[in-house]
Structure 1
Amino acid sequence: MSIVQVAPFKVLTSWSPPGSQIHASDWPMVQMSELAAEIKMAAHAPASDEIVRFAGVRWYGNGIFVREERTGDQVIGKCYPVVPGALIYNRLFGWKSAFALVPPEMAGVMVSNEFPQFRINDEVADPEFVNPVCGSETFAKVVLSRSTGTTAVSRNRLRVQDFLDLVVPLPPLVVQHRVVADRNARIAEAERLLVDSAKRRESAWIAFEGALGVVTAEPVGVTQTVSIARFAGLSRWDAEALDSETALLYPTEPLDALADIRLGCQVPKKGANASGVTRPYLRAATVQRGRLDLSDVRNMTVPQAQAEALVLQAGDLLFLEGSGSLQEIGRCAIWEGQIERCIHQNSVVRGRITSDRLVPAFAMAWFNSTPGSAYFRAQATTTSGLFHIGAGKTAKAPVPVHPAAVQVELAEALWSEIAAAETDEARATTLRAQAATEFDAAVFGKAQAGAA
């Protein structure tokens, strides 16, 4: 027989009845109030010229960080110092797993009253165990049911009392320590892989650019001769490095001397009665730096002749034509024929190499390098916060023309190192996922899973 719980409406704090709790573990279930005590702090009154740093708590258990600085006269409302070692959460986003332990280096940083803090009773619970429990997906689902407010995005608060009323699985301390150690070992290995991959990427690019002979001249001092240019001769006000230049081992040529350049077509407006053929197409999000993201390829209908003119061929260079980030404009990838009869949108410029003097993999490396991408940043124009380069400026992008054999050697050396770095990054992602999965199994699964 089913048991129905009845409660007066006035005692409900959310649409979920009181008692919505975790029931997925065979470990003893302990109320949070037995593990955590709220820390009542006196509000800090900053001097008007004091620099006050404010903290935020990232979602999904990704820690606490300094999000902004203000002078004391800009501080509105009360602020409270964070307590190193305390468990802290964001009332508004507890349901997004916005929990963290405050590290020692955050001493002196402030938060608003939307960030309650708790001292964990370390005689029964390891703070490093409680924190990932609170940051888990299982806990987040319960927090969402217990949060109150009118909208999930901006008013769905987890009150302190509701947090303290929640129950969590509590293995013996020795098991907590072991589960935390296993989790931390996975995460530490993931961090090591990410650090190593970043160093590997940096070294690969330095070696590539060094082999090209990249040398940036020292900036011209104010006491030296100053070059004067007519305004009409300037491509933009903030053109990069008018007072420095890159010395390469081989001369450069404009890209259109070695490749056919073409801008893609505009996607028909929604509701337009488009006729012709339907083709998959590449857009801005598809073209990443040195790779293509084909996880969300869409279709559009265009006239037959246009579709034939825009169909991509293996070896085509693809450039990001427009972006909200100046640093990303002109990023380059190579099409390898992954999708049949694929075309490209007008947010992508295609460069089809027509000369055997330019190797596609080398060209992609050059245009993604610091000196190669500088041209696009210098030549980009902006409208309404978006930067554009267009097909015309892409066509004139300079590219050094080394002997083809040298291009192949340099490109292979670079991209093999990048591939190795990507392998490490994928492994780091896997390790992080394993850490979360194994922790959840040990805590929220059967007691035997954590005791094995």
Structure 2
Amino acid sequence: MDAWTPNSAGLAQDEPWELPEGWAWVPLKMLSNFIGRGRGPTYVEAGGVPVVNQKCIRWHRLEPRHLKLTSRDAFDRLPPELYIRAGDLLWNSTGTGTIGRALIYDGSIAELTVDSHVTIVRPSSIDPAYLGHFVETSRVQHLVVDGHVGSTNQQELPRSFVEELIVPLAPLAEQRRIVARIDGLFAEIAEGEAALEEARRGLDTFRRAVLKAAVTGELTKDWRERNPVAETGHDLVARMRGSMSKNKRLRTAWTPRTDLPELPDTWAWCAVHEAGDVQLGRQRAPQHHTGAHMRPYLRVANVLEDRLDLSDVKLMNFTPEEFETFALKAGDVLLNEGQAPDLLGRPAMYRGEIEGCCFQKTLLRFRASELVDENFALLVFRHYMHSGRFKRESRITTNIGHLTQVRFVEMEFPIPPPAEVAVILRRVSEALAASADTLAMLDAEAADAARLKQSILKAAFEGHLVPQDPADEPASAMLARLRAANPPVARIRRGRRKTVSEKAKS
């Protein structure tokens, strides 16, 4: 075997770090008997062979619920190298956020292949689990993400990079000791991560309980017992209805359903359209992409729960007349009209962040009346999202729920006494602030766990995690055998295999 020199795959000419005695830097192509991507499959609904895609690949595990199926005939036509085997490294090779994620396949599914976005590495002269841990290191992940762009201007992992990636090859016996030690330490960390995740779920339950208590009166039950009010929710609803025109009262007459939750005596139900004005956003269409009155507008992607993401705000033409209808004002609550059913109605408040901003048809705008606090309205709508109230009111099309304006305006809206609203908002703010502090602490601990994992991997591949054993066969001896055999990396044949039926005919 000739001395190996890094090529144009983007790796540094120098070895990344000094290795212990008995180790060696070796390109991955010399440690594998196949490296290649899958094919773009023809999918079927049932009766086919599973195909692994990017969503299926998680660190250290395969997510079977995302598997798709290709036809038996198409599978039989694949080159045999694309039949996945136990010990194969499956490596996501395209896509922001998914590129670089990998797993070692455990052979749990008898027949399996991958699509064209996944690279197969079939180790032959290295422990598969050792290789799997190496590609998880921050150094390899940074190399994967940085500077690899494909023909579609998307992140892509070239085959040349995979082949020329240099691996710190420890003696085989030491590789196995390293894997055992990493697995043991990662198992301990996983227990802590599971506890953090359980705490997160507990916080989520707590936040939902706070929202429910806030809009049903439970949160301020003690306050009501000590504080009689001069104006009740019933008085407030009467005032709201009294301020409507006679025509609007007749047109929008509303009677509460008999199955609504019971409210405190001083609270009252009204309809959403009585509590405020509701407007659906303007339809996005090609004729509005240019014009003399281009204005920023918000869409579903900008409206998260209780916050706006303004990192990507688009422009659309709104005439002065349209601007009068679709302009946002500070205090407006925006709700997702079309969304995954569990996120339907996701609300956030616009607080005047962008001057002259409008909104798209995928959003509903609720503008509270003068007698309703917009911050309390936001709490009501957050509770409706989490409790599934919006979902029950929706119509579902192709897994997307729609909260139509017609249905939304007729939904129930709780009205507490004005004096009680101020107490509710203060208590909710305090409770959710404490929850946010706890969540920040959990996030910090999760980040510590991730950093600890990377520290363990760094120590492992620098030769510091387990002691070296002079009795181990050095990597150089294995390399000598490779020099003698010098097996080339397998490449996919461009021909095809005969199907079972074709073989029978021949």
TM class, shorter-chain normalised? 0.5 to 0.7
In the alignment, the residues of structure 1 paired with residue 329 and residue 10 of structure 2 have an alpha-carbon distance, to the nearest angstrom, of: 61
Structure 1 residue aligned with 2:25: 29
Tell me if the contact between 2:57 and 2:92 (Cα under 8 Å) persists in the aligned partners: no
- Mapped pair 1:252 → 2:255: no
- Mapped pair 1:389 → 2:403: yes
Partner deviation per Cα, 1:3-42 (whole Å, 9 max, x = no partner):
xx9xxxxxxxxx968999994333341455887899xxxx
Structure 2 residue aligned with 1:282: 298
Relative to structure 1, is the Cα distance of residues 302 and 436 closer, same or farther in structure 2, using a 3 angstrom cutoff? Answer: farther
In the alignment, the residues of structure 2 paired with residue 18 and residue 297 of structure 1 have an alpha-carbon distance, to the nearest angstrom, of: 35
Structure 1 residue aligned with 2:286: 269
Tell me if the contact between 2:328 and 2:356 (Cα under 8 Å) persists in the aligned partners: yes
In the alignment, the residues of structure 1 paired with residue 13 and residue 298 of structure 2 have an alpha-carbon distance, to the nearest angstrom, of: 46
Tell me if the contact between 1:288 and 1:331 (Cα under 8 Å) persists in the aligned partners: yes
Backbone CA RMSD of aligned residues:
5.4
SS at match of 1:280: strand
Structure 2 residue aligned with 1:412: 429
In the alignment, the residues of structure 2 paired with residue 18 and residue 262 of structure 1 have an alpha-carbon distance, to the nearest angstrom, of: 54
How far residue 91 of structure 1 moved from its aligned partner, in angstroms, is 8.6
SS at match of 1:100: strand
Structure 1 residue aligned with 2:89: 88
Relative to structure 1, is the Cα distance of residues 18 and 421 closer, same or farther in structure 2, using a 3 angstrom cutoff? Answer: closer
In the alignment, the residues of structure 1 paired with residue 430 and residue 145 of structure 2 have an alpha-carbon distance, to the nearest angstrom, of: 50
* Letter of the 2:65 counterpart: R
Tell me if the contact between 1:22 and 1:139 (Cα under 8 Å) persists in the aligned partners: no
Relative to structure 1, is the Cα distance of residues 441 and 315 closer, same or farther in structure 2, using a 3 angstrom cutoff? Answer: farther
Structure 1 residue aligned with 2:112: 112
Structure 2 residue aligned with 1:65: 63
- Mapped pair 1:363 → 2:377: yes
Structure 2 residue aligned with 1:320: 336
Relative to structure 1, is the Cα distance of residues 272 and 312 closer, same or farther in structure 2, using a 3 angstrom cutoff? Answer: closer
In the alignment, the residues of structure 2 paired with residue 272 and residue 204 of structure 1 have an alpha-carbon distance, to the nearest angstrom, of: 40
Structure 2 residue aligned with 1:169: 168
Of 380, 384, 389, the residue aligned with 2:394 is: 380
> Which structure has greater helix proportion?
2
Tell me if the contact between 2:288 and 2:318 (Cα under 8 Å) persists in the aligned partners: no
* Letter of the 1:321 counterpart: E
Relative to structure 1, is the Cα distance of residues 19 and 247 closer, same or farther in structure 2, using a 3 angstrom cutoff? Answer: closer
Relative to structure 1, is the Cα distance of residues 151 and 332 closer, same or farther in structure 2, using a 3 angstrom cutoff? Answer: closer
* Letter of the 1:269 counterpart: P
> What are the ranges of 5 or more consecutive residues in structure 1 without an aligned counterpart?
6-14, 39-49, 216-242
> What are the ranges of 5 or more consecutive residues in structure 2 without an aligned counterpart?
35-46, 77-81, 219-256, 468-506
Structure 2 residue aligned with 1:205: 208
In the alignment, the residues of structure 2 paired with residue 113 and residue 69 of structure 1 have an alpha-carbon distance, to the nearest angstrom, of: 10
How far residue 401 of structure 1 moved from its aligned partner, in angstroms, is 1.9
In the alignment, the residues of structure 1 paired with residue 310 and residue 188 of structure 2 have an alpha-carbon distance, to the nearest angstrom, of: 33
Larger relative contact order (Cα-Cα within 8 Å, sequence gap ≥ 6): 2
Relative to structure 1, is the Cα distance of residues 54 and 398 closer, same or farther in structure 2, using a 3 angstrom cutoff? Answer: same
In the alignment, the residues of structure 2 paired with residue 319 and residue 18 of structure 1 have an alpha-carbon distance, to the nearest angstrom, of: 47
TM-score (norm 2): 0.56
Structure 2 residue aligned with 1:346: 361
Partner deviation per Cα, 1:318-348 (whole Å, 9 max, x = no partner):
111223x233322211122322332222221
Tell me if the contact between 1:214 and 1:248 (Cα under 8 Å) persists in the aligned partners: no
In the alignment, the residues of structure 1 paired with residue 128 and residue 322 of structure 2 have an alpha-carbon distance, to the nearest angstrom, of: 64
How far residue 393 of structure 1 moved from its aligned partner, in angstroms, is 2.9
Tell me if the contact between 1:362 and 1:411 (Cα under 8 Å) persists in the aligned partners: no
In the alignment, the residues of structure 2 paired with residue 18 and residue 302 of structure 1 have an alpha-carbon distance, to the nearest angstrom, of: 48
* Letter of the 1:402 counterpart: P
SS at match of 1:369: helix
* Letter of the 2:444 counterpart: R
TM-score (norm 1): 0.62
In the alignment, the residues of structure 1 paired with residue 145 and residue 190 of structure 2 have an alpha-carbon distance, to the nearest angstrom, of: 27
Of 351, 366, 378, the residue aligned with 1:336 is: 351
Tell me if the contact between 1:190 and 1:432 (Cα under 8 Å) persists in the aligned partners: yes
Structure 2 residue aligned with 1:131: 132
- Mapped pair 1:301 → 2:317: yes
Partner deviation per Cα, 1:208-259 (whole Å, 9 max, x = no partner):
42565599xxxxxxxxxxxxxxxxxxxxxxxxxxx99452324421122121
Relative to structure 1, is the Cα distance of residues 91 and 384 closer, same or farther in structure 2, using a 3 angstrom cutoff? Answer: closer
* Letter of the 2:90 counterpart: Y
How far residue 350 of structure 1 moved from its aligned partner, in angstroms, is 1.2
- Mapped pair 1:402 → 2:416: yes
* Letter of the 2:201 counterpart: A
Relative to structure 1, is the Cα distance of residues 309 and 65 closer, same or farther in structure 2, using a 3 angstrom cutoff? Answer: closer
Relative to structure 1, is the Cα distance of residues 192 and 314 closer, same or farther in structure 2, using a 3 angstrom cutoff? Answer: farther
In the alignment, the residues of structure 2 paired with residue 200 and residue 21 of structure 1 have an alpha-carbon distance, to the nearest angstrom, of: 49
Relative to structure 1, is the Cα distance of residues 387 and 164 closer, same or farther in structure 2, using a 3 angstrom cutoff? Answer: closer
* Letter of the 2:403 counterpart: I
Tell me if the contact between 2:59 and 2:101 (Cα under 8 Å) persists in the aligned partners: yes
Partner deviation per Cα, 1:89-117 (whole Å, 9 max, x = no partner):
259779933421457xxx74344255968
Relative to structure 1, is the Cα distance of residues 112 and 340 closer, same or farther in structure 2, using a 3 angstrom cutoff? Answer: same
In the alignment, the residues of structure 2 paired with residue 22 and residue 308 of structure 1 have an alpha-carbon distance, to the nearest angstrom, of: 64
Relative to structure 1, is the Cα distance of residues 208 and 135 closer, same or farther in structure 2, using a 3 angstrom cutoff? Answer: same
Q: For the pair shown, which has the larger CA radius of gyration, 1 or 2?
A: 2
In the alignment, the residues of structure 2 paired with residue 188 and residue 426 of structure 1 have an alpha-carbon distance, to the nearest angstrom, of: 16
SS at match of 1:315: coil
Tell me if the contact between 1:376 and 1:397 (Cα under 8 Å) persists in the aligned partners: no
* Letter of the 2:331 counterpart: G
Tell me if the contact between 1:366 and 1:372 (Cα under 8 Å) persists in the aligned partners: no
In the alignment, the residues of structure 1 paired with residue 450 and residue 178 of structure 2 have an alpha-carbon distance, to the nearest angstrom, of: 21
SS at match of 2:342: coil
